[in-house]
Amino acid sequence: MGGPARPEPGRRRPAHRHRLHDHRRSVVVTDRAQLAETFRRFADQQCAGLSPLYATLSHAVARSNDLLDLAARTRPGQPAPNLLLGGIHHILRRGVQHPLAPYFTGHEHLDADHADSLLADFCRRHRARIERIISTRSVQTNEPGRCAVLLPAFAALQQQLDERSIRIVDVGASAGLNLLWNRYTYDYGGQRLTLPDSDPATVLACDIRGGTPPLSIDAARFVRPVGIELHPVDVTDTEATEWLVSLTWPEQTARMRTLNAALALASRTPPTILAGPAEEHLADVVAETPIDQHLVFVFSWSIYQIFGSPGGRDRLAATLADLSQQRPIHEISIGHFGHDTPRMIMASYDAGISRSDVVAHCDVYGNWLDWLTDPAHPGI
Ligand SMILES: C[S@@+](CC[C@H](N)C(=O)[O-])C[C@H]1O[C@@H](n2cnc3c(N)ncnc32)[C@H](O)[C@@H]1O
C-alpha cells in the first residue's frame, strides 16, 4: 500500500515518530517508553467500555519490550495500537489457528496474565506477516456511522447558504463510504430520518446528548460528490475491503454489520474518488468546481494523517485560507484536535479571511452527538 505521505514544502512532518523503526540496534529507550504510554492511553481512553479485549492486549504490549519493538515498525504518523491490533485481527480473520482466536470473536474474556503469553506466542509465530502488514498498511477505518454527525452539519450549511447547489469533497475518504450519506437511514434517538435514496437496511443510530441539531435536509441540492484519497479502497475488491473490516474491533459486532451493509451498497454504486495525496488535489478541485456550486471540504478523522499532529488543523486552515483567494470555501472537520472529546468544526474561508466554530462534540464512530446550538468556542 505504498510509502508514507510525502511532505509538502514547508510542511512539518508529524511529530509522533517511531524511531525504533530505523535501526533496531539503536533502540532509544525513551521512544519505547513513549510507545508504551501510547498503548496504555489507547487502552484506558479509547478502548474503555468499547473493547475490553483490545484494552487488555494493549496493556500487554505496553509491558513487553519485544512487542513494543514490533509495534514500532508502523510508519510515522500512523497510530501503532490500531495498526498492530488490526493486523493481528486481519491474520486471524484469514482463518489462522491459534489459542488467541476465540477471544477475537468478541465473546470470550481474556485475563491479563493469559494475554501476555498468548500475545507473545502469536506475535512470535507470525512476526514477519505482522511486520509486513503494519509497515505497509495504514489506518483507513471508514466509519459510515460518522455520517450521522455530518448530516446535521450539511443541513446547517444548507440553511445558511444561498440556493446554489452544494458540492461535498471528502478528503481522506478511504473507501468513500461517507460520500454515500444520502443512501443511509438515520435513527436519532428513536427519531427516524429517511432521504429519497435511503437504504432501509443500513441504519445509522445516533444518540442526541444535547442541543437540537438541524435534521431537515434537501439531499437533491448536493451534487457531484467526490473523495480524495491517498490509497483508495476499492469497494468492489473483497481483499481490500477485508482490511477495513479487520480495523473494526472484535466486540463491535453492530459496527461490523453496518460497515458490511455500507460496503455492499457501495459495491453496487461505487463513489467517485480521486487517487493521490490531498496536497496535490485540493487546488485542482478548487479550480474546477464551478462558482455556481458551494464547495465544502470534509475532513473526517483525516487531518492528523494528512497535515500531521499536533497543529495539523492550523496548517489545513492556512492552506484553505490561501486557496480561498480564488473562491469561497467551506470546511467541516471532525477529530480530537488535541482534546479528549472529539469535536466537529465548521469553517468558512473567503478571500483569505476565515471564521470557524466548534459546532458539536461527538463520538468517534458517530454514536452520539452534542450539538452546541450557540457555539461558545470560535476556532479550536
Ligand atoms: C482514519 S481514515 C478516515 C476515513 C474516513 N474519512 C472516515 O472518517 O471514515 C484517514 C484516511 O486518510 C487517508 N490519507 C492519509 N494521508 C492522506 C493524504 N496525504 N492525502 C489523502 N488521503 C490521505 C488515509 O489513507 C485514510 O484512508
Domain ranges of the chain: 19-136, 144-371
Q: Residue 375 Cα, ligand 1 centroid: separation in angstroms?
A: 27
Task: Indicate the average pLDDT of the chain.
Answer: 91
pLDDT at 11 over 80: no
pLDDT at 355 over 60: yes
- Is 76 close to ligand 1, i.e. is its CB under 6 Å away? no
pLDDT at 25: 39
Assign 28 a pLDDT band (cuts: 50, 70, 90).
low
- Is 301 close to ligand 1, i.e. is its CB under 6 Å away? yes
More confident residue, 259 or 108: 259
Nearest to 67 by CA among 122, 28, 109, 3: 122
**What pLDDT, in 10s, does the model give residues 334-343?**
999 999 899 9
Q: Residue 270 Cα, ligand 1 centroid: separation in angstroms?
A: 17
Q: Is 29 exposed, middle or buried (CB count within 10 Å of its CB: 0-12, 13-18, 19+)?
A: exposed
Cell numbers 468492489: residue: 236
pLDDT at 93 over 80: yes
Q: Residue 243 Cα, ligand 1 centroid: separation in angstroms?
A: 14
- Is 142 close to ligand 1, i.e. is its CB under 6 Å away? yes
**Rounded CA separation 85/115 (Å):** 13
Assign 378 a pLDDT band (cuts: 50, 70, 90).
low
Q: Whose CA is nearest to atom 11 of ligand 1?
A: 172
**What pLDDT, in 10s, does the model give residues 189-204?**
999 999 999 999 999 9
**Rounded CA separation 354/350 (Å):** 6
Q: What average pLDDT score do residues 36-45 get?
A: 97
Give the cell for residue 135: 509497515
Q: Tell me which of 174, 204, 258 to substitute to probe ligand 1's pocket, judged by most ligand atoms within 8 Å of the beta carbon.
A: 174
Nearest to 253 by CA among 46, 107, 81, 101: 107
Nearest to 295 by CA among 337, 335, 347: 347
**What pLDDT, in 10s, does the model give residues 232-255?**
999 999 999 999 999 999 999 999
pLDDT at 346: 98
Give the cell for residue 313: 488543523
For 144-371, CATH number out of 3.40.390, 3.40.50, 3.40.1560, 2.50.20 equals: 3.40.50
